[in-house]
Structure 1
Amino acid sequence: MEINQLLPFIAVGFIWGVTNPLIKRGSCGIQANTKKANNKLHQAFLELKFLVLRWQYILPFLLNQSGSLLYVYFLQDSEISLAVPITQSCTFLFTTLAALCLRERIPSKLTFFGIALISIGINICIASKL
């Protein structure tokens, strides 16, 4: 697998990773801003209505879903044994960095240690395929 085959999966990991904390932030207040319904179906409708009408939620959600479309598109011509771990680990890395930039939480030392281990593992996988 060449570097130009890895870049689309790193890009998808970036899209997913950056949009994850934005989706979380956009859904804040769903319980406080939706009235309680008598049945679960009506409650689900009220919550869905709340989310669809919030641009802070719907915009990152649509961007995240476009990343999913890209992922499926690029996956058809790639080696799945490399594509999946690369994309998922990049998603984890970029989610952590985006949450840090948004001041959601300060990652622990163990988080950074885990990121380092994942990076080493992916490099081993890539090296074994070359």
Structure 2
Amino acid sequence: MGEARGMVGDIEKMIAVGLVWGATNAIMRRGALIWDHALKSSSSSKPPRHCTTLPQRCLFSLGNWLKLLSIWQYTIPFLINLSASATFFAILSDAPISLVVPVTNATTFAATAVFGMLLGEETHVPRALYGKLFLRSLVQTTHPGKSCTNFSSNKNILNGFLTTMVKYSLCMTYSSLGKI
């Protein structure tokens, strides 16, 4: 009973990490677009002709990377994303990697699509939905009889979450097509 209760807590952490990663992925993409626009509009977006040696090219790339980090719309979500990564590694110390990685990645995949849509990005919803269903089936097939959907009183926590995400994705698909 204690082990199942601990695993349910781990599953909630996995889902939380996936949600944070998904949200910050979508927001970091916005920051990266700002950076890309700034690079294209500046004269220093391409290495000068005299930048032919490896150390010169590395310094030029380092300068561009530092410009990216100076954009707060990228840096703040990046730091939040890194803190979720630290939580992810802490979860790995208590739960099997064969469960943590698919659950977290499936949640991240769905959350990135949902947050991208909420931020107004053009999202290929059918493709995202197909990927989400594929990841869900992967979690189910890699843990038959031992999956996180079989734990005591909260035995459907992951299944319910994934089903909700799929339903939400379907709803977003139909609303974007003007059918709702």
CA separation of 1:81 and 1:103: change in aligned 2, threshold 3 A: same
* Aligned residues between the structures: 130
Letter in 1 for 2:145: S
Partner SS, residue 103 of structure 1: coil
Letter in 2 for 1:40: R
Q: Is the aligned partner of 1:27 residue 2:32?
A: yes
- State TM-score, norm by structure 1: 0.86
- Using the TM superposition, give the Cα deviation of residue 103 of structure 1 relative to its aligned residue in structure 2, in angstroms: 1.2
Letter in 2 for 1:6: I
Letter in 1 for 2:102: P
Q: Aligned runs of 1:4-15 on 2, under 5 Å?
A: 4-15=9-20
Q: Quote the residue 2:8 is aligned against.
A: 3
User: Which is higher, the Rg of structure 1 or of structure 2?
Assistant: 2
- Paired with 1:111 and 1:45, the residues of 2 have a C-alpha distance of 34
- Using the TM superposition, give the Cα deviation of residue 104 of structure 1 relative to its aligned residue in structure 2, in angstroms: 1.0
Q: Is the aligned partner of 1:81 residue 2:98?
A: yes
Structure with the bigger RCO (C-alpha within 8 Å, sep 6+) is 1
Q: Aligned runs of 1:38-117 on 2, under 5 Å?
A: 38=51, 39-117=56-134
Q: Quote the residue 2:172 is aligned against.
A: none
Runs (5+) with no aligned partner, structure 2:
151-180
RMSD of the TM alignment (CA)?
2.0
- Paired with 1:128 and 1:43, the residues of 2 have a C-alpha distance of 53
Runs (5+) with no aligned partner, structure 1:
none
Q: Quote the residue 2:159 is aligned against.
A: none
Flag as ranges the 4+ runs of structure 1 deviating above 3 A. 123-127
CA separation of 1:128 and 1:98: change in aligned 2, threshold 3 A: same
Cα distance per residue 1:5-47 (max 9 Å; x no partner) = 2011111111111111211110123332551333312321221
Task: Between 110-119 and 66-75, report the one with greater CA deviation.
Answer: 110-119
Cα pair 2:32 2:74 within 8 Å, conserved? yes
Cα pair 1:13 1:90 within 8 Å, conserved? yes
Cα pair 2:18 2:106 within 8 Å, conserved? yes
CA separation of 1:10 and 1:126: change in aligned 2, threshold 3 A: farther
Q: Percent identity?
A: 28
Cα pair 2:22 2:111 within 8 Å, conserved? yes
- Paired with 2:69 and 2:134, the residues of 1 have a C-alpha distance of 38
- Using the TM superposition, give the Cα deviation of residue 115 of structure 1 relative to its aligned residue in structure 2, in angstroms: 1.3
Task: Between 63-72 and 102-111, report the one with greater CA deviation.
Answer: 102-111
- Using the TM superposition, give the Cα deviation of residue 48 of structure 1 relative to its aligned residue in structure 2, in angstroms: 1.7
- State TM-score, norm by structure 2: 0.64
